[in-house]
């Protein structure tokens, strides 16, 4: 349904550029209605990425931080076989998303040197592994905060204006898609980990602050001309390899307190984005639930072709998968090595 207000799309309805399920169904109506003059399945001309390691493609490479992965075994299955700063043995989510839209197979990091105009015009990643919504989170790991990522985005906009002009830049921002992935480190590191904010706040207050920060960031993106914004929730963080090892006992079960925290945050984030539907005119704001699909993959891993769902690939979870396994980790899906 067309509306002048923002639309919040939950996990059963993906953002409008993605085709809907084309599986078996009833035969088509012999007299279908005329096509919508403004079809929803339109490919965005650019995708802009903000957040943490799930979509960071190398912005941490020149930082003095432990949150770097520009060394082996990271990148061992990347097309070039080189560690690029991606928190994966191969590609990360941003590469797959831009590839799905047909924009490009590899997304460049904004801070990467010598990024060409063609790369800028189809979007880059501003994300920084280890970042988050809560103000303390990026300070703990000495990485780029969301505010700093926004400052880089402002530089990017001015750069585009000089290269292609204001009108084309404004069009690119309005028709492009911003994807925000954060919250994982706020819970893993800042609340339950070394940030020790669990001693200061209960989980309800802390996740409320996270959700408020997320909403503020979305509003700032809108203020810079972005009109299509997708915000991902958090996966079952209690099931990541490190948490299984530390909190899961002999059987390395999922840490349910952390899973519960993820669910609380996701619920609050969804509500905040719903409220933005009435605050940001002529926009589409999407909440993307990844908790449910990840839970289903872990529960029915064989159905999805995964052999290992409790271990990581690259030395970040204390217990790693063997070199030939299909491995599912919270940050990425790792392919079988050739």
* Residue 317 reports pLDDT greater than 60: no
Give the CATH number, domain containing residue 101. 3.40.50
216-244 average pLDDT score: 94
* Residue 9 reports pLDDT greater than 50: no
* Residue 15 reports pLDDT greater than 60: no
- E strands, 289-337, are 327-328, 333-334
* Residue 34 reports pLDDT greater than 70: no
Q: Which residue is listed with tokens 């919508």? A: 36
What percent of the chain has pLDDT above 90? 67
In a domain, 319, yes or no: no
287-296 average pLDDT score: 93
Residue 40: predicted pLDDT: 52
Is the distance from CB of 129 to CB of 60 less than 8 angstroms?
Answer: yes
In a domain, 302, yes or no: no
Which one has a higher pLDDT value, 137 or 26?
137
211-240 average pLDDT score: 96
- Cα angle value 147/217/121 (rounded, 5°): 80
Q: How far apart (Å, rounded) are the C-alpha atoms in residues 156 and 177? A: 15
* Residue 318 reports pLDDT greater than 50: no
Q: Which domain holds residue 167?
A: 41-291
In a domain, 173, yes or no: yes
* Residue 10 reports pLDDT greater than 80: no
In a domain, 6, yes or no: no
Question: Would you place residue 24 in the very low, low, confident or very high pLDDT band (cuts 50, 70, 90)?
Answer: very low
Q: How far apart (Å, rounded) are the C-alpha atoms in residues 278 and 275? A: 6
Q: Is 260 helix (H, G, I), strand (E, B) or coil?
A: helix
On average, the pLDDT of the chain sits at: 83
CA atoms within 13 A on the CB side of 292: 8
Is the distance from CB of 138 to CB of 65 less than 8 angstroms?
Answer: no
In a domain, 177, yes or no: yes
Residue 87 CA: distances (Å) to CA of 227, 286, 337? 29, 25, 16
Question: Would you place residue 245 in the very low, low, confident or very high pLDDT band (cuts 50, 70, 90)?
Answer: confident
What percent of the chain has pLDDT above 70? 77
* Residue 331 reports pLDDT greater than 70: no
277-304 average pLDDT score: 88
* Count of the separate structural domains present in the chain: 1
pLDDT digits (tens, 9 = 90+) for 95-145: 999 999 999 999 999 999 999 999 999 999 999 999 999 999 999 999 999
In a domain, 218, yes or no: yes
In a domain, 305, yes or no: no
What the block records as the tokens of 144 is 């780029």
In a domain, 7, yes or no: no
* Residue 12 reports pLDDT greater than 80: no
Question: Would you place residue 235 in the very low, low, confident or very high pLDDT band (cuts 50, 70, 90)?
Answer: very high
């Amino acid at each position: 349904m067309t509306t002048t207000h923002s639309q919040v799309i939950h996990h059963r309805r993906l953002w409008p550029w993605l085709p809907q399920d084309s599986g078996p169904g009833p035969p088509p109506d012999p007299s279908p209605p005329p096509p919508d003059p403004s079809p929803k399945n339109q490919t965005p001309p650019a995708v802009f990425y903000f957040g943490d390691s799930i979509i960071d493609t190398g912005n941490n490479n020149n930082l003095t931080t432990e949150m770097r992965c520009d060394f082996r075994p990271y990148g061992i299955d990347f097309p070039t076989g080189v560690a690029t700063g991606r928190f994966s043995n191969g590609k990360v989510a941003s590469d797959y998303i831009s590839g799905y839209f047909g924009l490009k197979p590899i997304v460049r990091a904004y801070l990467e040197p010598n990024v060409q105009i063609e790369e800028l015009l189809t979007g880059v990643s501003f994300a920084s592994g280890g970042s988050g919504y809560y103000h303390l989170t990026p300070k703990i790991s000495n990485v780029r905060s969301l505010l700093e990522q926004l400052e880089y985005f402002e530089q990017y906009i001015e750069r585009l204006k000089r290269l292609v002009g204001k009108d084309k830049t404004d069009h690119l921002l309005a028709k492009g898609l911003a994807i925000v992935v954060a919250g994982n480190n706020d819970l893993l590191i800042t609340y339950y980990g070394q940030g020790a904010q669990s001693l200061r706040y209960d989980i309800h207050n802390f996740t409320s602050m996270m959700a408020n920060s997320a909403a503020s960031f979305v509003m700032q993106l809108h203020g810079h001309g972005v009109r299509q914004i997708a915000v991902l929730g958090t996966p079952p963080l209690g099931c990541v390899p490190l948490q299984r090892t530390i909190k899961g006992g002999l059987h390395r079960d999922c840490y349910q307190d952390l899973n519960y925290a993820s669910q609380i945050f996701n619920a609050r984030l969804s509500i905040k984005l719903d409220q933005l539907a009435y605050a940001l005119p002529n926009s589409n704001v999407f909440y993307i639930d990844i908790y449910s699909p990840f839970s289903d993959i872990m529960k029915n891993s064989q159905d999805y072709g995964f052999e290992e769902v409790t271990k990581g690939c690259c030395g970040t979870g204390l217990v790693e998968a063997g070199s030939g396994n299909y491995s599912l980790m919270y940050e990425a899906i790792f392919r079988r090595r050739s």
